[in-house]
Amino acid sequence: MIDYQAILNTINSQAATSSDRGDVASYIPELSKIDKNKFGIHLINAEKLEFSSGDFQEVFSIQSISKVLSLSLAFSLIGDELWSRVDVEPSGDPFNHLSLLELENGIPRNPLINAGAIVVADVLLSNLKNPKEDFLNYVRKITNDTSINFDLTITDSEKKTGFRNIAAANLLKSYNNLQNDVDTVLDFYFHQCAIQMNCQQLTKAFFMFMNGGKCMQEQTYLTTSQIKRINALMLTCGFYDEAGEFAFEVGLPGKSGVGGGIVALLPNKFCVATWSPGLNKKGNSKLGMEALEKLTTATGQSIF
Ligand code: GLN
């Protein structure tokens, strides 16, 4: 039996003494106020046993981690039709890059870069009755936690400075790849990114990606084939132009956010979430990546 608890304790104490923690995201002004000394990690295994260390119960802004959840809901609503609006190739570009969008006639490279997630937001707006409320309820349901909410201070903060996302949405609209108006799509997108969760809630939300589409309550949300596709997208696109490095160091499908969170999973084995707000140059949590490298190295468990 692997002693996950001992491994997480070691990872947490090593993180506590780390002097190079990266930099907190400042392009969303509210995020720059977060204390970069925080560190939390939580792991749930397939038997639903939980292990944790550090600030694993403190909520933070999940940011781009939300893109996997919006993708899942959109995929379950419209199926493979989704792939006519967004591609499934890694971009090798930063999350907010626009050059490939122009080159590829308004079809974003994948649903986990900003442009792709904005198209997914548009799909949800066209297919849900009360889009923001319905999406939040979906996240609450798969996590089995009604306390999850939007942090509206973060939504407003990003709205004021989200110039590249505004540009991406306008470019998509010019290529007829948005059905709803630009402001409505961005309002939804800025809300989804501003959902607050902690490491423990994130591992529960992502349990279904580890468990063939069945959530913690054994309810099925996605088919095994859809889960295979979403996990493949996390592996190849979840860390933008650092997806190769994450696969190389950690060897798990996962997703990061500029709030400093990372969720990763090993199908049928475990789901793990880390939070450390300092980011590396590519916008992924510095200590989070290091922690996950230590976890898969110490346990010998990765998809490879
Ligand atoms: N809301 C952020 C943005 O659109 C999400 C980016 C991220 O977490 N990588 O810029």
Determine the pLDDT at residue 104.
87
Please write the tens of the pLDDT for every residue from 184-241: 999 999 999 999 999 999 999 999 999 999 999 999 999 999 999 999 999 999 999 9
Is residue 66 within 6 Å of ligand 1 at its C-beta? no
Q: Is 64 annotated as ligand-binding?
A: yes
Atom of ligand 1 nearest to the CA of 240: 9
Is residue 114 within 6 Å of ligand 1 at its C-beta? yes
Determine the pLDDT at residue 100.
82
Atom of ligand 1 nearest to the CA of 117: 4
Q: Is 27 annotated as ligand-binding?
A: no
Q: Is 157 annotated as ligand-binding?
A: no
DSSP one-letter string for the chain: ---HHHHHHHHHHHHHT-S---B---SSGGGGGS-TT--EEEEEETT--EEEEESTTS-EE-GGGHHHHHHHHHHHHHGGGGGGTS--S---S-TT--HHHHHTTT--S-TTSHHHHHHHHHHHHHH-SSHHHHHHHHHHHHHT-TT-EE-HHHHHHHHHH-HHHHHHHHHHHHTT--SS-HHHHHHHHHHHHTEEE-HHHHHHHTHHHHTTTB-TTS-B-S-HHHHHHHHHHHHHHTTGGGHHHHHHHT-S-EEE-TTSEEEEEETTTEEEEEE---B-TTSSBHHHHHHHHHHHHHH--S--
Mutation choice for ligand 1 from 154, 158, 240, CB with most ligand atoms inside 8 A: 158
How many whole angstroms from 271 Cα to the centroid of ligand 1?
22
Is residue 242 within 6 Å of ligand 1 at its C-beta? no
Is residue 64 within 6 Å of ligand 1 at its C-beta? yes
Residues paired with residue 40 on neighbouring β-strands, in sequence order? 54, 275
Determine the pLDDT at residue 304.
97
Please write the tens of the pLDDT for every residue from 75-125: 999 999 999 999 999 998 999 999 888 888 999 999 999 999 999 999 999
Please write the tens of the pLDDT for every residue from 124-165: 999 999 999 999 999 999 999 999 999 999 999 999 999 999
Q: Could you tell me if 229 and 80 are in contact, meaning their C-beta atoms sit under 8 angstroms apart? A: no
How many whole angstroms from 28 Cα to the centroid of ligand 1?
9
ipTM of the complex: 0.97
Q: Is 4 annotated as ligand-binding?
A: no
Sign for the CA dihedral angle at 273, 278, 284, 286 comes to negative
Determine the pLDDT at residue 291.
98
Q: Is 240 annotated as ligand-binding?
A: yes
Determine the pLDDT at residue 102.
81
Q: Which domains does the chain have, with CATH numbers?
A: 4-299 (3.40.710.10)
Is residue 283 within 6 Å of ligand 1 at its C-beta? yes
Q: How confident is the model at residue 14 (pLDDT cuts 50, 70, 90)?
A: very high
Please write the tens of the pLDDT for every residue from 249-262: 999 999 999 999 99
How many whole angstroms from 95 Cα to the centroid of ligand 1?
7
Is residue 207 within 6 Å of ligand 1 at its C-beta? no
Please write the tens of the pLDDT for every residue from 280-298: 999 999 999 999 999 999 9
Mutation choice for ligand 1 from 93, 95, 161, 195, CB with most ligand atoms inside 8 A: 95
pTM over 0.95: yes
Please write the tens of the pLDDT for every residue from 19-49: 899 999 999 999 999 999 999 999 999 999 9
Collect contacts of 223-232 with beta carbons under 8 A, ≥24 apart: 226/72, 226/75, 226/76, 229/75, 229/88, 230/68, 230/71, 230/72, 230/75, 231/265, 231/267, 232/88
Determine the pLDDT at residue 99.
83
Is residue 68 within 6 Å of ligand 1 at its C-beta? no
Q: Is 249 annotated as ligand-binding?
A: no
